[in-house]
Amino acid sequence: MELAYIPSPSRGVLYLGPIPLRGYAFCIIIGVFVAVWLGNKRWVARGGRPGSVADIAVWAVPFGLVGGRLYHVITDYELYFSPGRNWVDAFKVWEGGLGIWGAIALGAVGAWIGARRMGVALPAYADAVAPGIAFAQAIGRWGNWFNQELYGHETHLPWALHITSSEGGRVPGYYHPTFLYESLWCVGVGFLVIWADRRFKLGHGRAFALYVAAYCTGRAWIEYMRVDDAHHILGVRLNVWTAIVVFLLAVTYLVLSARRRPGREAVVEQGASDDPDAGDGEAESTDQAKVDVTKAEKAEKAEKAEPEAEAEAGVKDTADSGKKG
């Protein structure tokens, strides 16, 4: 008898009348809100406009969901297109199955479209939202808990996950809660990016690259623990290979970017200072600066004129004295 374990929910969906409320969907939605909220705070601190992060997220999030689902369906196509399977299930996102690699890749395309429309520097935007994405992943992983999925080898540790469902080939028992391991890892990645960004003033997409590299490091060893079916290359799970390749690309970008474009972007959003209120303040300060410059010029001219006047007066006095003599 197990004295301690993590229980699985008896079901992952509640019904509000005919409307299903799914735990998996709620975790994804909450994660998106956290990412946008934190990203907005960081964006404003970098000199961007409030609300720009949310406006770009309107493009990035749908693209990310489509990309995540596409990656999952393509890499696990036999779940939907093999004999006895129903291809319509490929569209049932609420049942789980979003690949982070596809979500980030296609989400970046959506962010690029939104950024271009708004005159936003995409690398700076990526830096602003990077830790929020990590926290969103940490929250989203709890959706796997609601669906009783994403667990590892059998274990009798006190934090073992108790799987009770036998659907989809599951075998009830006690397993490593790899969803929890990845959730905690993502929290650590989020705080790492925040610290490194403050400490080293990361710019030009390097904070985002750090997030990618750190996440891939954890994903590689967590992926090894999983027992769900997956494609293998040379005896290694496909997602492990993906994590290794993406990690190398992220580190390469970090090194090359730091050499070619050190420091941060001076301007992250075109016209960010064109706010009506900010514009009035700038106009007033500009007018005041002009007045100050005019006064300074007059004072400088007066200072130069005084010695000349004194010299002329001295010459005149000398000439008068000579006449009198």
Per-residue pLDDT tens for 201-236? 999 999 999 999 999 999 999 998 998 888 889 989
- The whole-angstrom separation of Cα 77 and Cα 218 is 25
Is the per-residue pLDDT at 305 higher than 60?
A: no
pLDDT at position 284 is: 40
- The whole-angstrom separation of Cα 43 and Cα 175 is 40
Is the per-residue pLDDT at 276 higher than 80?
A: no
- Cross-strand bridge partners of residue 172: none
pLDDT at position 309 is: 52
Instruction: Name the band, by pLDDT with cuts 50, 70 and 90, for residue 291.
Output: very low
Instruction: Name the band, by pLDDT with cuts 50, 70 and 90, for residue 195.
Output: very high
Instruction: Name the band, by pLDDT with cuts 50, 70 and 90, for residue 289.
Output: very low
Say what percent of the chain tops pLDDT 70. 83
Is the per-residue pLDDT at 190 higher than 60?
A: yes
Tell which wins on pLDDT, 202 or 84.
Answer: 202
Average pLDDT score over residue span 288-301 = 51
- The whole-angstrom separation of Cα 82 and Cα 285 is 69
- Cross-strand bridge partners of residue 19: 16
Sorted by sequence, the CB contacts under 8 Å of residue 117 that are 6+ apart come out as none
Torsion-angle region of 229 (φ positive above 0: left; ψ -120 to 50: alpha; else: beta): beta
- The whole-angstrom separation of Cα 257 and Cα 177 is 37
DSSP state for residue 163 in the 8-state scheme: E
pLDDT at position 53 is: 96
Instruction: Select the highest-mean-pLDDT range: 160-169, 254-263, 274-283, 312-321.
Output: 254-263
pLDDT at position 3 is: 57
Say what percent of the chain tops pLDDT 90. 58
Tokens coding 208: 């985002």
Sorted by sequence, the CB contacts under 8 Å of residue 155 that are 6+ apart come out as 174, 175, 176
pLDDT at position 297 is: 58
